[in-house]
Amino acid sequence: MKDFKKGLEGIIALETEISYIDGVKGILEYRGYRIEQLAKLSFVSIIHLLLHGKLPTIREHDQFSNMLKERRELDVHTKEVIHFYNFNIEAMDALMTAISHLSHSDPDLNSNSHEENISKAIRLIAKAPTAVAYFQRIHEDKEIIKPNELLPHSSNFLYMLRGEIPTVLEAKILNVDFILSAEHELNASTFAVRVTASTLSDIHSAIISGIGTLKGVLHGGARLAVMNMLDEIGDPKKTEKYVMNLIKNKQRIMGFGHRVYKVVDPRADIFRDLAKKLAEEKKDMKWYEMATKIEEVVTRELVEKQGKTIYMNVDFYSGVIYKYLDIPPKLATAIFALGRITGWLAHALEQYKDNRLIRPRAKYIGDHHTPE
Ligand code: ACO
């Protein structure tokens, strides 16, 4: 058997038309469009692009947006059971459980055709933010806030969470957050989704695989770890010493490093600009100053002195943004999932369209025992 690559590094496992990454030039495209261009659009346009393969016309955009709005509310059963979730779980666990409950009441439960899977995908994208917001409100012992049809997808989520209409800048930032989180080629969680879909299991199960995989600290969980790190540092003046200690003890700095990017993640640059604008709007530069200091120390110590290609990734300044938006830390990874669910669904649909069971081999390195 041929040799193997630990962590499947650099292995091309399948073909896709959904996204393209050049990790050396720092390029990311969804269906051929650069992420910098896409970040100026609405999240609804990105959902249309990823699921249907093209950007919507103005008319298609409005129809598609209305379709999503009409599907935001949860069914009675899913809404009821959220009251019985354990208060100590992370929102990712709540989302996983809620998706499972949503599958029970899905009108196309027993069908796996392309059309019905598109309908299921639209329902899942519409309802997932409501499930996360209801979970948080119920466990804060507050009234749930029903979806607001006047608000776009991501602003409505923030509204259901906090009970206030977001500012123009907050709404813009969350829209960009959902767009930048939506898709990223064959990352670990998307691979998990495609493996599940390749067995011809249903689309809800494929998404649950994705959620479980995104949760880990080496993947989407790093956003929460960045928020925790900022809290732990607490004061911009303590940042240099804190990061130097991590480096001295050979610990990882969360929000830095990437399997594919050998330069700054193009999404991280966009987030850095937005974090600065938000800090200025809130008249509180503390978290932003700490973040720029962390970036400066990592660049100086790991890139310039040690020659490593460890640059900030998507989770770094998004963690900073969540601090300014006052997002409860246990929601951080789940909000990432609310964006990424669109990419996962696009990949599951692509997998079903031209399926072959994903079943690699392992190199056996154990003993062979001969019976006496
Ligand atoms: N801080 C310090 N050193 C690091 C970091 C980091 N964040 N990331 C990698 N390194 C070092 C490793 O210690 C290793 O050094 P060595 O060669 O001297 O042993 C070298 O860089 C290569 O590291 P690997 O773990 O082999 O690289 P891999 O491609 O497997 O890791 C990963 C990628 C998991 C993202 C890693 O960079 C990491 O742990 N980062 C922190 C967690 C994080 O931010 N994850 C989010 C990634 S983006 C996303 O998934 C949405």
315 CB near ligand 1 (under 6 Å): yes
Contact 94, 86 (CB under 8 A): no
Between the alpha carbon of residue 78 and those of residues 107, 120, 157, 220, the distances in Å are 14, 16, 18, 25
Is the Cβ atom of 313 under 6 angstroms away from ligand 1? Answer: yes
In this prediction the pTM is: 0.95
The verdict on the CB of residue 258 being under 6 Å from ligand 1 is: yes
Q: Which atom of ligand 1 is nearest to the CA of 309?
A: 21
Going by CA atoms, what residue is nearest to atom 49 of ligand 1?
Answer: 219
Please indicate whether residue 231 is annotated as part of the active site: no
- What pLDDT score was predicted for residue 71? 98
Angle at 290 (CA atoms; ends 253, 288), nearest 5 degrees: 115
Spatial separation of the C-alpha atoms in residues 43 and 46, rounded to whole Å:
5
Q: Which atom number of ligand 1 is nearest to the Cα of residue 187?
A: 50
Q: How far is the CA of 302 from the centre of ligand 1 (A)?
A: 12
256 lines ligand 1 (CB under 6 A): yes
Which of 214, 256, 335 most suits a substitution to test ligand 1, by most atoms within 8 Å of the C-beta?
Answer: 256
CA-closest residue to ligand 1 atom 44: 255
Q: Kindly report the number of other CB atoms within 10 A of residue 364's CB atom.
A: 8
- Active-site residue flag, 315: yes
User: Quick one: pLDDT at residue 1?
Assistant: 59
Distance from the alpha carbon of residue 277 to the mean position of ligand 1, in angstroms: 29
Task: Give 4's strand partners.
Answer: none
- Reduced to 3 states, what is the DSSP secondary structure of residue 22? strand
Q: Tell me which residue has its CA closest to atom 34 in ligand 1.
A: 218
Q: Is the CB of 314 under 6 A from ligand 1?
A: yes
Helix (H, G, I), strand (E, B) or coil at 269: helix
What letter does residue 299 receive in the DSSP assignment?
I
339 lines ligand 1 (CB under 6 A): no
Question: In ligand 1, which atom is closest to the CA atom of 257?
Answer: 37
- Active-site hit among 48, 219, 258, 347: 258
**Number of CB atoms found within 10 A of residue 133's CB:** 27
Q: Are strands 27-30 and 19-22 parallel, antiparallel or unpaired?
A: antiparallel
Would the CA dihedral through 265, 261, 40, 230 be positive or negative? negative
Instruction: Give the pLDDT score at 65.
Output: 98
Which pLDDT score, from 0 to 100, does residue 88 have?
Answer: 87
CB of 145 within 8 A of CB of 164?
Answer: no
Q: Ligand 1: which of 28, 259, 267, 303 to mutate, judged by most atoms within 8 Å of the beta carbon? A: 259
Please report, for the chain, the start and end positions of each structural domain, with discontinuous segments joined by +.
Answer: 222-324
pLDDT of residue 270: 96
At the second CATH level, the architecture of 222-324 is Orthogonal Bundle (1.10)
Roughly what angle, to the nearest 10 degrees, separates helices 168-181 and 314-324? 150
Q: d(Cα 309, Cα 295) in Å, to the nearest integer? A: 13
pLDDT tens per residue across all 372 residues of the chain: 567 899 999 999 999 999 999 999 999 999 999 999 999 999 999 999 999 999 999 999 999 999 999 999 999 999 999 999 988 899 999 999 999 999 999 999 889 999 999 999 999 999 999 999 999 999 999 999 999 999 999 999 999 999 999 999 999 999 999 999 999 999 999 999 999 999 999 999 999 999 999 999 999 999 999 999 999 999 999 999 999 999 999 999 999 999 999 999 999 999 999 999 999 999 999 999 999 999 999 999 999 999 999 999 999 999 999 999 999 999 999 999 999 999 999 999 999 999 999 999 999 999 999 887
The minimum-distance atom of ligand 1 relative to the CA of 316 is 44
Residue 85 per-residue DSSP state: S
Closest residue CA from atom 4 of ligand 1: 252
Interval between CA 156 and ligand 1 midpoint (Å): 35
Q: How far is the CA of 256 from the centre of ligand 1 (A)?
A: 7
pLDDT score at 2? 67
CB proximity list for 25: less than 8 A, separation 6 or greater = 263
Closest residue by CA, ligand 1 atom 32: 258
Q: Which ranges in the chain belong to alpha helices (H)? A: 35-38, 43-52, 58-70, 76-82, 91-104, 114-139, 153-162, 168-181, 188-198, 203-214, 222-233, 239-248, 266-282, 286-298, 314-324, 332-353
Judge if the beta carbon of residue 262 lies within 6 A of ligand 1: no
